[in-house]
């Protein structure tokens, strides 16, 4: 009986053709994709100049800043500016307002954007869907300055359209600009009106990208329209919803300055519920607001704002990662 010989590896190939593993470092990567890195230079410069270099100014928060001595010449104050903010109570009010308003914006904004995207997806007439998208997207292109004028002519006490409408029904006019309790709802409604079209387009694109065979299989199983939305559309939208919500949470301690400033302006009567960190810092730098604050205290409030935003996004991403790793940003 003939025994089979052991199969030996083929050594007939020349040594020069054997692949040699090379260590590919940063220089190799840079040379290989040099065109892509050159295209990225404008974006890198933008972030360096407008986002990273200004971070040097954070030292103002820890100094008794004055214009003559400058940023680096002013004497150190330690945490004195932060201590004043805490003792004055301003930091608690503006931080709560910022967090509360942004929570309303994110929560109700996401709800309306997803809802409208689903409704647009269910519209059968192509012309009506395009017309609706155009009308919904139109407010996104209107400046907050113009929106502020619209809001004023709606809620002005004596000449406002809303009080005029209430007068037709025999209801006494409401002093909207003297009643801070109404403004969280007014600002939330304004925010939704302006941003719902833009957000719904993003979610509508995500819905269009869902595999149609999933819907077909659900229809074969006897699912109704509502069941398709509940058990197919919404679950398939969850990754997009979570990512966009996490990105919004990253700026939850940053109030929409353009919105608040142009709608509320300098009306101190409603600052109780509308004054946010951004407007507080702005008035501190301007030296307005009844002797409120200074540049150093404004910088302290801005530094605290950045720190709280950083902690919030890290915590939110960690919680989402614990729930579902695929939904996390990193």
CA distance 240 to 131: 25
pLDDT band at 41 (very low <50, low <70, confident <90, very high): very high
CA-nearest of 114, 149, 148, 156 to 245 is 114
Q: Which pLDDT belongs to residue 287?
A: 60
Q: Give the model's pLDDT for residue 23.
A: 56
Share of the chain above pLDDT 70, in %: 89
Alpha helices in 48-79 (DSSP H): 70-73
- Contacts for 143-147: CB closer than 8 Å, 24+ residues apart: 144/258, 144/259, 144/261, 144/262, 144/263, 145/262, 147/190, 147/194, 147/259, 147/262, 147/263
Identify the CA nearest to 265 among candidates 120, 132, 161, 156. Answer: 156
Per-residue model confidence as pLDDT tens digits over 76-124: 888 888 887 777 677 888 889 999 999 999 999 999 999 999 999 888 7
Q: At residue 77, what are phi and psi to the nearest 5 degrees?
A: -120, 0
The pTM of this model reads: 0.77
Q: Which tens digits make up the pLDDT trace of 187-233? A: 999 999 999 999 999 999 999 899 889 989 988 888 888 899 999 99
Region 229-250 average pLDDT: 89
- Report the alpha-carbon distance of residue 282 to residue 280 in Å, rounded: 5
Question: Which H or E element spans position 248?
Answer: helix 234-249
Tell me the two tokens of residue 318: 């960690």
% of the chain with per-residue pLDDT over 90: 37
Distances (CA, A) of 34 to 23, 123, 203, 220: 19, 47, 35, 52
Res. 270: pLDDT tops 70 = yes
């Amino acid at each position: 009986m003939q025994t089979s010989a052991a199969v030996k590896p083929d050594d007939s190939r020349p040594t020069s053709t054997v692949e040699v593993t090379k260590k590919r470092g940063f220089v190799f990567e840079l040379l290989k994709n040099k065109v892509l890195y050159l295209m990225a230079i404008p974006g890198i410069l933008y972030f360096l100049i407008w986002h990273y270099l200004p971070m040097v100014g954070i030292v103002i928060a820890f100094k008794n800043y004055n214009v003559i001595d400058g940023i680096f010449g002013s004497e150190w104050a330690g945490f004195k500016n932060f201590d004043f903010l805490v003792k004055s109570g301003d930091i608690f009010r503006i931080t709560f307002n910022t967090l509360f308003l942004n929570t309303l914006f994110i929560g109700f904004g996401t709800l309306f954007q997803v809802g409208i995207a689903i409704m647009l997806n269910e519209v059968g007439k192509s012309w009506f869907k395009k017309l609706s998208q155009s009308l919904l997207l139109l407010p996104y292109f209107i400046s907050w300055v113009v929106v502020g004028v619209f809001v004023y002519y709606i809620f002005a006490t004596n000449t406002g359209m809303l009080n005029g409408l209430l007068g037709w029904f025999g209801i006494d006019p409401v002093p909207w600009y003297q009643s801070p309790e109404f403004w969280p709802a007014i600002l939330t409604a304004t925010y939704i009106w302006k941003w719902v079209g833009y957000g719904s387009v993003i979610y509508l694109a995500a819905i269009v990208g869902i595999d149609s065979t999933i819907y077909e299989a659900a229809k074969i199983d006897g699912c109704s329209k509502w069941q398709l939305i509940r058990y197919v559309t919404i679950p398939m939208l969850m990754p997009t919803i979570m990512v966009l919500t996490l990105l919004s949470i990253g700026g939850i301690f940053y109030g929409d300055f353009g919105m608040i400033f142009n709608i509320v302006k300098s009306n101190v009567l409603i600052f109780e519920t509308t004054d946010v960190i951004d407007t507080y810092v702005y008035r501190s730098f301007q030296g307005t607001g009844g002797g409120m604050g200074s540049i150093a205290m404004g910088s302290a409030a801005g530094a605290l704002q950045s720190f709280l935003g950083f902690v919030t996004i890290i915590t939110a991403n960690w919680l989402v990662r614990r729930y579902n790793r695929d939904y996390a940003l990193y």
